[in-house]
Amino acid sequence: MNTDIQHDRHKQARANEDRLKAWIDLTPVSDIPVNQFGESSRMQICNTLNISRSTVRSNPRIRDLFAELDERIKKNNVSRSNAKRKLTRRARELKYVSGLQERVDEAELRCARFQYLEDNGHLLRE
């Protein structure tokens, strides 16, 4: 009887591993729930797959699957953070150029006013 219980537990453990492995293979990295530390949210994933959270701690294969998943997320986040950094830099550059354009427009307006003064002998009000 005791071996039947152990056999059932082993079958359940394998089923959990297979379910998690299939879910990881089918889910794009961008759709994987992430916790505040930038790792996979084990709680959300386990709830989705009906795997108890204690199984993650006790089953080394599931623990390894989550470790591999965390590595995939970190690799993907590096490229995301690089893209974000590039966008932030681009936004700063555009803001700077916009400020320069405003200054050029003001300088052109002043030049036009001085040209008017030179041509007509009096200055227009601002």
pLDDT in tens, 13-47: 888 999 999 999 998 888 888 888 888 889 999 98
Q: Do the domain assignments include residue 83?
A: yes
Token pair belonging to 62: 């599931």
Burial class (CB in 10 A: 0-12, 13-18, 19+), 12: middle
Q: What percent of the chain has pLDDT over 90?
A: 22
Whole domain around residue 93: which residue ranges? 13-120
Q: How many domains does the chain have?
A: 1
Q: Write phi, then psi, for 34 (nearest 5 degrees).
A: -120, 140
User: DSSP label at 50?
Assistant: T
Question: Which residue(s) pair with 40 in the sheet?
Answer: 34
Stretch 49-76: mean pLDDT:
88
Q: Do the domain assignments include residue 125?
A: no
pLDDT band, residue 5 (cuts 50/70/90): low
Look at residue 82 and tell me whether its pLDDT is greater than 60. no
C-beta of residue 86 within 8 angstroms of C-beta of residue 93: no
Closest CA to 16 of 69, 67, 53: 53
Q: Do the domain assignments include residue 116?
A: yes
The pLDDT mean for the chain works out to 82
Q: What is the pTM of this model?
A: 0.56
Q: Do the domain assignments include residue 4?
A: no
Stretch 54-71: mean pLDDT:
90
Q: Do the domain assignments include residue 66?
A: yes
Q: What is the pLDDT of residue 61?
A: 92
CA distance 120 to 113: 10
Query: Does 110 or 86 have the greater pLDDT score?
Result: 110
Q: Do the domain assignments include residue 32?
A: yes
Token pair belonging to 71: 């590595």
CA distance 105 to 100: 9
Q: Which residue is listed with tokens 């089953």?
A: 59
Q: What is the pLDDT of residue 1?
A: 46
Q: Do the domain assignments include residue 2?
A: no
DSSP, collapsed to helix, strand or coil, labels residue 39 as coil
Q: Do the domain assignments include residue 87?
A: yes
Look at residue 11 and tell me whether its pLDDT is greater than 90. no
